[in-house]
Structure 1
């Protein structure tokens, strides 16, 4: 039976002010203009979050499949129809067990894959990553993990200045895995070498990176300028000032900027005490930071953001709705090699969509042609 969803349809080319998306089964069959339609809701593609550690009180970082399933369900309720489970730096055995545990969830399409944020990261720019678990890139360890995942691992973040990092990037690319640059103290030249080796994503650009300077541009300028690199941006007003968000998006354009949440388990929860990768986190006024030995706040520890809130923040910062929608869906989907399947409202693509009111609040969510309860 054909299902029709009407409203202001956001297409890759812009907005159909009075449009309709037709769905049959899991797929979109047509998107057309219907002049008689007067439904004022926005219809945007389902959000694609390529970097999230958990939400709704549940986490991906422990390797617990039930917790992962519930975290994915939480974000689905906020319009994220596709996401990666992001792990943090941890011992090799923990990485192996989480990879094996999440492979069935990838097969079920609960998750689109696993993202290793570490452990081949900079001690100087580790942020909320546990410093005891950081290490140089190990091709044998990486090969074992990729073999174990059997296609489950979709992206790995590493610092290009670490020993063996460039060879690791080449290994990842040869295996069809996205190599991302992040948590790095690399110079501009070292970052360019990583891009030349095949890195195609900048992990939460500006955050966890050497501060840009006009005489030493570092990784930020290299990533923003690279035509084949998609730059992740955390649009929560904490990781990035709104002016920085709009500036970065204007440099990259919407086809190279991806909105992410970098959310941890506290997303959608009250202020209080939480945990991330074995480290204590305190959330105050919705901002997550490591708890210091004296009890005070330390480094930013992920976020409490959801993708619908990120979209609203981007639009409030001056980014047009069609561009912000592309940054939340089509661009991350393409960065992960999922374009042609999802991320846009196009015939033949999976019927993932979000219905938003005029305030860009979620009204309904559809995934694979079925409304989410």
Structure 2
């Protein structure tokens, strides 16, 4: 298949192009989308493997999508690892494993997500992520930056995070990290009820970093106040947070009812019931719901014994749980599986599911001008599925990945 060093076209595809599905072709030039055309099947002339370029002056290699789905590449803003690699390893080898594994399942961009750990351990992850983002992966998803999930969380809702490293929100740490690694940290997850959280949320807002609630015991009123100060997002909604009660709506109730807060959901059928995802979709504006994997190093490796943040866990039938108490411990999910789940079990169309997997995370990160949709001038980050929504190919910046 062609790469970014050649000009090429993909035709006879059902293209998720903004707010509509069109049957047509996409023309790629120099790693960018040059044109999107509604051309129907548009077979190559005389059975050749080439099609005219849009200006009609030359021919370029062509791929027949055979009526399959061409989608903007998936953007995973909450992923810990895959295929044996963990972002906490802070090594190029692990990062290459992770980004290539997820690219093979349609992910074209992602955030290196930490767990609750010591400051020196997080220092190493940020240094490694900054270096890897600069150098890039040869065949993997692009690394957009880092998501700090902890250590500023509630000891009442640690989930699969190591409670030994939970710390109160510390703005000085963020000042140091943002000075050393400008534009690297994209999301910080914290418990808004913890001392120092309000100051940190305001600092994050000033820096253009997404302040997110998660692993939190915050009440409805605390979340509302935090939203007024700059809280924008909620990680793995319904999981590791104070739940909905009719007399105290809790964190979940606030997230459901405050339109300005975007929400992640782990759509694997284990973390959140399909009915609860449908509830989320009814409560939130569609552009505020984001699919994530929360994948750990065990993703892609099958059942067995693993660890997360130094805590032993077991994977059985694809479900990861801590050995000490059975708590869910991340997932073995891919973005493609999450995409298919919300179509098959939650009533979304492929176009709507594509928004949750691509356009919405790009919007949250402020990268919608370059990523998240298929349009002229945007990066050629694409995933091709067949008519049965099975993976066929992934391109990052116009190059085959995975």
TM class, shorter-length: over 0.9
Report 1:212-361 matches (<5 A): 212-292=244-324, 298-317=326-345, 318-361=347-390
| CA displacement at 1:52 relative to structure 2 | 0.3
2:391 matches 1:362: yes
Give the match for residue 15 of structure 1.
21
Give the TM-score normalised by the residue count of structure 1: 0.96
Q: Is the 8 A contact 1:341 1:350 kept in 2?
A: yes
Rounded to whole Å, the distance in 1 between the matches of 2:253 and 2:17 is 30
Rounded to whole Å, the distance in 2 between the matches of 1:139 and 1:106 is 24
| CA displacement at 1:50 relative to structure 2 | 0.3
Secondary structure, counterpart of 1:111 in structure 2: strand
Larger Rg: 2
Q: Is the 8 A contact 1:160 1:186 kept in 2?
A: yes
Q: Is the 8 A contact 1:99 1:148 kept in 2?
A: no
The one of 73, 76, 81 aligned to 1:49: 76
Report 1:109-188 matches (<5 A): 109=136, 110-188=142-220
Structure 1: gaps spanning 5 or more residues: none
Rounded to whole Å, the distance in 2 between the matches of 1:228 and 1:346 is 26
Aligned length in residues: 368
| CA displacement at 1:313 relative to structure 2 | 0.3
Q: Is the 8 A contact 1:96 1:148 kept in 2?
A: no
Q: Deviations over 1:294-335 (max 9, x none)?
A: xxx511000000000000001012111111000000001111
| CA displacement at 1:254 relative to structure 2 | 2.5
Q: Cα RMSD over matched residues?
A: 1.3
2:120 matches 1:88: no
Q: Is the 8 A contact 1:61 1:276 kept in 2?
A: no
Give the match for residue 102 of structure 2.
75
Rounded to whole Å, the distance in 1 between the matches of 2:226 and 2:133 is 28
Secondary structure, counterpart of 1:244 in structure 2: helix
Q: Is the 8 A contact 2:243 2:253 kept in 1?
A: no
4+ residue runs over 4 A deviation:
none
Q: Deviations over 1:223-251 (max 9, x none)?
A: 12222221001000011111111221222
| CA displacement at 1:173 relative to structure 2 | 1.3
Rounded to whole Å, the distance in 1 between the matches of 2:296 and 2:116 is 14
Give the match for residue 24 of structure 1.
29
Rounded to whole Å, the distance in 1 between the matches of 2:400 and 2:127 is 30
Rounded to whole Å, the distance in 2 between the matches of 1:128 and 1:346 is 39
Give the match for residue 88 of structure 2.
61
Structure 2: gaps spanning 5 or more residues: 1-5, 44-65, 137-141
Secondary structure, counterpart of 1:298 in structure 2: coil
Secondary structure, counterpart of 1:84 in structure 2: strand
Structure 2 CA distance for partners of 1:283 and 1:30, relative to 1, 3 Å? same
Give the match for residue 105 of structure 1.
132
Rounded to whole Å, the distance in 1 between the matches of 2:40 and 2:24 is 7
